[in-house]
Structure 1
Amino acid sequence: MPVLRAACSSAGIEMGEARRVPFGTAAGYRLPSGVVVRISGPGRRPEARHELEAARWLAASGISTPRAVPGVRQPIDIHGRSVTFWLDPLPHEQSTLAEMGSTLQRLHQLAPPAGFSLDHFRPFLGLTEEIDAAEVFTDDDRGWLHQHVTELRGRWADLPSGLQWCVVHGEAWHAEFAATDDHEVLLMSAENLTIGPPEWDLVPTALEFRSFGWITAADYARFCDGYHHDVTRWGGFYLLRDIRELLMTMAAARAAAADPALRRQAMLRLSCIRGDEGPRQWPGWEPLP
């Protein structure tokens, strides 16, 4: 862990016996002091700075989120990686789906920040290059994926009206929401905050029920009750569903490049979105490690 060791030295923080731990849908290293260290992918300094600013803004707006360690100028850049240091949250466990829904509703009601800017939601950003780089897929697969993106772009131009665009989390999966012992809900990361359609944050939980069977109908109803809205009743749901499933397929392709054991998962996801596996629910989709 040379990057971790160098970053701790630069920050003046004792590394000790660091332990890898989940941190929302990402991962971090917990130090004996309780500090959690996050190491970004290569070339992601703007995203690391964005998360620090967004976390400060969320806390000031009444949305609980992990706090950056005070007194440390960050992010710290080590060998092309940006490193951030966070105070270990209070003891917590995964939130209920109702708590998640109500927290998303509170987030969506916030006025956009004045102290820094948020990008506008761009669902297809970088997809063309990502498909070209996906070596796990064949040339025919990549050709189909490019055609699929073209179709989705056309549908995006005719997205039906929905809820008013607002601050959205961007990757609102259940693992991103935790609850402390005193029932305070923590939003575990803020790196993907944008201005976009609030429905984008509601689609992941709908997929967990309708596409993958990861949760039950009763679970999904509790989420809808928490947010006071069911995104599946909106005409634009099917487009956002299809975009999400494509992005999940590309995430599996990226993961398979680093871990060949995930190649089967990437190929299954592609087969599903191509229509080769029949109607949803699709068995076999598994959360990536």
Structure 2
Amino acid sequence: MGVPDFEEDARRTLAHAAVLATIPDSEWLTVRIGERGVFRRGDVVAKVARSRSRFPHAKREVLVARWLGASGVPVERPLANEQPDERVALPVTFWHAVDGDWTTPDRLAEVLRVMHELTPPDDLDLPRLDPFPRMRQRLDGTASLDAAQRTQLEALVARFEPQLPVALAVIQRPNVVLHGDANIGNIHVQANGDLAMLDLDGVCVGASAWDLMITAVYRDLGWHTAAEYAAFCDAIGCDVTQDPAWPTLKAVQELRMTCWLAQKAASDPLVAQEFAGRVADLGDPQRPRRWHPY
């Protein structure tokens, strides 16, 4: 039996959603297939989630984007229509396209400083930081996982789930608005120099260290230089690696990155090789990581 083709399902759903949203019918180009399918037609970007269970999250992402934009945080803008439309098979949201390059760590820090100072309105009902249910969903939705890999990853999720809140309990600034996946790829610099934060489906409330540790993990993986990380720390005003919670935060982020990659491994031999290497590395915290970004 072949692996289900998410991209094919996403395109079929997108075609239906575009008709309902009165978006002119034409070819949608694939931008990327990962956590979601992302497609583009002219100046419009469409995001298609992998499961109907993500409808509430997609709706909240649109509301979050509108609130953040009105609050002075530079974000991508959803189209004005009510979305997502629950008459289609999977959650689809439409956005004004953002053209530009990934930002730098120091400019990422500038946006996070603004975001972390906001107080969300009560009716937005932002969730508390909890990365573990999403990890389980990714593993459950990856039928091609080797049994041993699945057992190992599920055991690590169960191990770190009670450890993370304990590690964060004594941390400063425990109740700020978080992006949830604050890496430089999620903030683009446009031609006029303006920034735009993308992928707002993980916005939540929790310890500010969660948004800071991703840049530190990327530094340790060799994806950022020491100078870039130093500039990030200067701009944000602290170094999360000096916090007692850092070892737990790093371990959870590495696990999260590996669970995310699981959903891509079935359709790409190179990704499958990378995924297998990451799973092996998770068993030894001291083992040098030679991970590649995806």
How high is the TM-score relative to the length of structure 1? 0.87
* Alpha-carbon displacement from aligned partner over 1:175-197 (angstroms, at most 9, x marks no partner): 00112233322111211101111
Residues 267 and 103 of structure 1: is their aligned pair in 2 closer, same or farther, counting only changes over 3 Å? same
- Residue type at the aligned position of 1:255: K
SS where residue 159 of structure 1 aligns?
helix
SS where residue 130 of structure 2 aligns?
coil
- Residue type at the aligned position of 2:102: Q
Give the C-alpha shift of residue 142 in structure 1.
3.5
Which of the numbers 216, 232, 236 marks the counterpart of 2:245? 236
SS where residue 93 of structure 2 aligns?
strand
Equivalent positions of 1:23-172 (< 5 A) are 28-32=38-42, 34-43=43-52, 44-70=54-80, 72-77=81-86, 79-89=88-98, 91-128=99-136, 130-131=138-139, 137-160=145-168, 161-164=170-173, 165-172=175-182
Partner of 2:12: 2
Give the C-alpha shift of residue 206 in structure 1.
0.5
- Residue type at the aligned position of 1:69: L
Matching of residue 264 in structure 1 with residue 270 in structure 2: no
Residues 2 and 253 of structure 1: is their aligned pair in 2 closer, same or farther, counting only changes over 3 Å? closer
Partner of 1:279: 287
Residues 36 and 141 of structure 1: is their aligned pair in 2 closer, same or farther, counting only changes over 3 Å? closer
Partner of 2:196: 186
Give the C-alpha shift of residue 120 in structure 1.
0.6
- Residue type at the aligned position of 1:120: R
- Contact 1:55-1:189 within 8 A present in 2 as well: no
Residues 93 and 122 of structure 1: is their aligned pair in 2 closer, same or farther, counting only changes over 3 Å? same
Residues 264 and 116 of structure 1: is their aligned pair in 2 closer, same or farther, counting only changes over 3 Å? same
Residues 214 and 129 of structure 1: is their aligned pair in 2 closer, same or farther, counting only changes over 3 Å? closer
Q: Return the alpha-carbon distance in structure 1 between the equivalents of residues 95 and 283 of structure 2.
A: 41
Give the C-alpha shift of residue 60 in structure 1.
1.0
Partner of 1:14: 24
- Residue type at the aligned position of 1:42: S
Residues 23 and 163 of structure 1: is their aligned pair in 2 closer, same or farther, counting only changes over 3 Å? farther
Residues 59 and 23 of structure 1: is their aligned pair in 2 closer, same or farther, counting only changes over 3 Å? farther
Q: Return the alpha-carbon distance in structure 1 between the equivalents of residues 119 and 159 of structure 2.
A: 33
Give the gaps of 5 or more residues in structure 2: 1-10
Q: Return the alpha-carbon distance in structure 2 between the equivalents of residues 104 and 286 of structure 1.
A: 25
- Contact 1:15-1:31 within 8 A present in 2 as well: no
Residues 218 and 24 of structure 1: is their aligned pair in 2 closer, same or farther, counting only changes over 3 Å? farther
Q: Return the alpha-carbon distance in structure 2 between the equivalents of residues 229 and 52 of structure 1.
A: 31
- Contact 1:23-1:188 within 8 A present in 2 as well: no
CA root-mean-square deviation: 2.5
Residues 141 and 110 of structure 1: is their aligned pair in 2 closer, same or farther, counting only changes over 3 Å? same
Give the gaps of 5 or more residues in structure 1: none
Give the C-alpha shift of residue 147 in structure 1.
3.5
Q: Return the alpha-carbon distance in structure 2 between the equivalents of residues 157 and 117 of structure 1.
A: 20
- Contact 2:177-2:205 within 8 A present in 1 as well: yes
Q: How many residues align?
A: 281
- Residue type at the aligned position of 1:231: V
Give the C-alpha shift of residue 287 in structure 1.
1.9
